[in-house]
């Protein structure tokens, strides 16, 4: 893979590394042709943040492009409260905190730190039910920090030609399953 990693790809890679390839392949296509209803709803819910219209308060920064020199990550934050020094990742609906959500937040966190921002707390916000989930800073959760760093290393060393998906549930829930020759949900 390329040296620079998109922060959003951290979660995608955990789900299925091949989905990143298909996302790039279909990236220019109309999302209505390949996204599920829940993905379209999530994109719509994210619109105000992506367009920087979520808040007019001067202490709330939204949609900021970020870069981590240390980890060579690039992406965009959802929301940063400069008064509280809190970084927030917003999701349409959170029923469970997946590692990929945390790793995306870590990527944003390290990018903000590398860019000179002070970040004292991390949060995942579920838009549908307005619930907040506080996430430990990486320095306070060494296991998750090590797993984050291992994920980045795995992404840089990934060889799609050698990849075999073994989790048929992931394939069954993948929007690219019909186009994928590595699908575990198909019989040989």
43 forms beta bridges with none
Q: Answer yes or no: is pLDDT of 51 > 70.
A: no
Q: What is the pLDDT of residue 34?
A: 47
Closest CA to 93 of 51, 48, 131: 131
Which domains are seen in the chain, by residue range? 5-179 (3.90.320)
Closest CA to 75 of 49, 103, 111: 111
Taking only the tens place, the pLDDT of each residue in 77-102 is: 999 999 999 999 999 999 999 999 99
Tell whether pTM > 0.75: yes
């Amino acid at each position: 893979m390329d040296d620079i990693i998109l922060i959003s790809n951290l979660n995608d890679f955990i789900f299925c590394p091949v989905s990143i390839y298909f996302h790039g392949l279909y990236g220019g296509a109309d999302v209505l042709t390949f996204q599920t209803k829940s993905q379209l709803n999530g994109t719509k819910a994210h619109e105000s943040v992506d367009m920087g219209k979520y808040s007019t308060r001067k202490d709330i920064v939204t949609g900021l492009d970020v870069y981590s020199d240390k980890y060579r990550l690039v992406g965009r934050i959802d929301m940063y409260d400069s008064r509280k020094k809190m970084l927030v990742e917003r999701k349409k609906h959170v029923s469970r905190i997946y590692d990929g959500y945390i790793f995306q937040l870590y990527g944003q966190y390290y990018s903000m730190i590398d860019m000179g921002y002070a970040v004292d707390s991390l949060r995942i916000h579920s838009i549908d039910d307005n619930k907040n989930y506080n996430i430990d800073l990486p320095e306070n959760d060494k296991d998750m920090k090590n797993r984050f760093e291992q994920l980045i290393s795995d992404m840089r060393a990934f060889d799609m030609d050698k990849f075999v998906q073994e989790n048929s549930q992931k394939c069954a829930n993948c929007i690219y399953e019909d186009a994928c020759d590595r699908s575990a949900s198909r019989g040989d």
